[in-house]
Structure 1
């Protein structure tokens, strides 16, 4: 087989492939064997009919068509492997020549990863907010802990912000009842904003057994995007009583004996949480700096695939009715044109980010260990409320294990860049990123030792 590559653009190539017919003999044998099992010819047992008789019965053209269709994927894959191009997405294949007994020729146009000139990582400098811990931060944590151990008691007064109420809800649109928006005995924390827009404001001041109406825009279901008349009835009102923040509470809520020890521990947790937030800010700003400094040609097919996936998910929520999606967007003060524009911009950024981080990972030979992949799978399974075994099975069935691996590798590649970038806070202090993202020099030394050990 012979193949050549034409560079159509920085992100697209045409692969020209010529296959001598003698290389298709295994494919012909496979086709004859399969057809012999399917076609009944008098005087021959299933699977034993000679090739000539099969050709006479079915015609050479039908057999040739099956051989070509079966052979194309493998020959295309072989051409890709020998051409040293990194393909993205599915190819557009066109058969250009079939000379029976002589040659099969075809072309495959496909998007490829572009060549990317990466900046010097040490030239990247970003500034982030410093870590600051206030007494208010500690009190907020303590208050949250007290709320977890609080108790609810019935009160005979109007609803206040922060109360817990039992409510009944119903809704109508143009006088028609909306069944999926009706419920009874629903528990709700006033001020949480977790239900219908306008509900919390309506509830404040209401009393038990009182009903009120208000209008709100439905965001899902058959009437998504429509303005509805909502009726809410309060069944009961409860307030949360919090335990005193004293030594007794510290002993009940933690392993500490005093409230001061508990506050010290909470301070440490707040500090760790803010370090995680700062690490996220550093990562985002370094990535933004990389994107600004690097020219990344975008494969149109990859961008369109991202756009199509977002649109599919958006329309799926409206029973694949694009008119309903447009109505919902208008109700939110947007439009389909703005949605399409924003979606394409987000897709372009996503593809650019993936290509850039893949280029960094390849240049730096970023490796992903089994433990790192397992850690990501465990994290993802917890997010989706699934057991690791169920999650892995679902991921494998969907063919997404490679995507998870690529995501972990990109994250490690970006962490390697962060480790070489200059990071300071707004007060002029140097931020040590080794604790957050690891020490690239130390990891490189460990990798070198591992290689030497395996060589011995």
Structure 2
């Protein structure tokens, strides 16, 4: 086989491939055998029909079948021979295909552009200070107290923070909306997240009172449409919280004193904020690296990814019961600003992925079973999926393991870059990343010397594709 490549642009190439008949013949013979097995010709046993007979009865059938097989095979060989990485399906044109003669075809395809990896040992980045305030601790303690709180009925109007039991029905043009009627539902006043106007309507209502207001549905076939909502309060309850004392600490934790519980809450918040700081450092370092390169991208690749991201966002908003218009209003963005920001993030994500792949080529990163297991577990956790279902999915679709391995390698490449960078907080303190453990604590450097996964997990593998 002979092949030549013509560079049409930094992201598009045209291959010209010539395949001699000797390399075509095995595919032709295979096609004749397959056709012979599927037809019945008087005078010949099944599978023993000569090629000449097949050609007389089904002229060109074997050549067409062989062409499909040989095109895919030789196209892949030509791409590999010319060290090209396709980013889309090729546009193939057969220019010559004669009896007992060679096959010639061309293939135009979007390709991965050549990337020159910049030096990254001098990268610097700045992140917010790690700070756990008394208010942060008080908020967590309050949430813990609420978990152990009790409800008691009160003979007064509902106020912010109270729990009410209510009946609710939505109507449009006097007709009850299907699926928009609930009874005996418990709801905390001021919590929000259900229907706009609900909190205002039930505030001040006592048991037995009802109110009617206009709102927009956040789910179902009529999402976003205005309806008339009637809500009736059947019960008003006040939450009584346990005192923040030693007895509560013993009830809610393994600690004997409230001071010990509070100190543990502060420590856990600190570990969580340290992980957030590490993620911010990772993003900041990656952003600094991206500023040092300029990579052309095929328009079709960007468009396809934009459409996929846009569809995913719309599905998430629909699941959350929110329209795109409401989301943009809450974010203070116009449609044009949203689209520009989305395209920037998509382009950055694609370039980051390509750049990390290029860096990973120069490293001897190993992907172990432990790497894959940990990655699958973290993916399942982030998606709220049962880990067993995630592993079952992999057994049914093992080809995903290759994708996961690629993401893990990118994570290792990014972790290496972050380790070499200088990251400081706004107060000028160097941020410890190299010995950061997955739980947010700082490990002993000597104890972590053999643990190659610490930084990968802590800095967040597969960050390059996390544009959202």
For this structure pair, what is the TM-score category when the shorter chain's length is used for normalisation?
0.7 to 0.9
Cα displacement (A) at 1:422: 1.2
Compared CA separation, residues 242 and 348, structure 1 to 2 (3 A): same
Partner SS, residue 96 of structure 2: strand
Cα displacement (A) at 1:204: 2.0
Compared CA separation, residues 137 and 308, structure 1 to 2 (3 A): closer
Match of 1:180 in 2: 179
Work out whether residues 173 and 226 of structure 1, in 8 Å CA contact, stay in contact via their aligned partners in 2: no
Separation in structure 2 between the aligned mates of residue 404 and residue 116 of structure 1, nearest angstrom: 23
Match of 1:452 in 2: none
Match of 1:253 in 2: 252
Mapping of 1:59-78 within 5 angstroms? 59=59, 61-78=60-77
Match of 1:304 in 2: 303
Q: Normalising to structure 2: TM-score of the pair?
A: 0.84
Partner SS, residue 182 of structure 1: strand
Mapping of 1:12-31 within 5 angstroms? 12-31=12-31
Cα displacement (A) at 1:313: 4.3
Match of 1:47 in 2: 47
1:83-119: CA deviation from partner (whole Å, max 9, x where unpaired): 2122223222222221221111112222222222333
CA RMSD of aligned residues (A): 3.1
Cα displacement (A) at 1:365: 4.2
Work out whether residues 296 and 355 of structure 1, in 8 Å CA contact, stay in contact via their aligned partners in 2: no
Compared CA separation, residues 14 and 275, structure 1 to 2 (3 A): same
Aligned: 1:138 with 2:137: yes
Work out whether residues 317 and 323 of structure 2, in 8 Å CA contact, stay in contact via their aligned partners in 1: no
For structure 2, the 5+ residue unaligned runs are: 453-468
Partner SS, residue 131 of structure 2: coil
Compared CA separation, residues 84 and 315, structure 1 to 2 (3 A): same
Compared CA separation, residues 129 and 339, structure 1 to 2 (3 A): closer
Aligned: 1:147 with 2:111: no
Separation in structure 1 between the aligned mates of residue 12 and residue 451 of structure 2, nearest angstrom: 36
Greater helix content: 1
Match of 1:451 in 2: none
Match of 2:205 in 1: 206
Match of 2:125 in 1: 126
Work out whether residues 173 and 229 of structure 1, in 8 Å CA contact, stay in contact via their aligned partners in 2: yes
Mapping of 1:312-323 within 5 angstroms? 312-313=311-312
Paired positions, count:
439
Match of 1:196 in 2: 195
Separation in structure 1 between the aligned mates of residue 267 and residue 31 of structure 2, nearest angstrom: 69
Cα displacement (A) at 1:356: 2.4
Separation in structure 2 between the aligned mates of residue 445 and residue 189 of structure 1, nearest angstrom: 50
Match of 1:291 in 2: 290
Match of 2:456 in 1: none
Separation in structure 1 between the aligned mates of residue 447 and residue 290 of structure 2, nearest angstrom: 25
For structure 1, the 5+ residue unaligned runs are: 320-326, 449-456
Partner SS, residue 377 of structure 1: helix
Work out whether residues 221 and 318 of structure 1, in 8 Å CA contact, stay in contact via their aligned partners in 2: no
Match of 1:378 in 2: 377
Separation in structure 2 between the aligned mates of residue 311 and residue 131 of structure 1, nearest angstrom: 34
Cα displacement (A) at 1:389: 3.8
1:47-82: CA deviation from partner (whole Å, max 9, x where unpaired): 2222111111111x2221111012211221222222
Partner SS, residue 179 of structure 1: strand
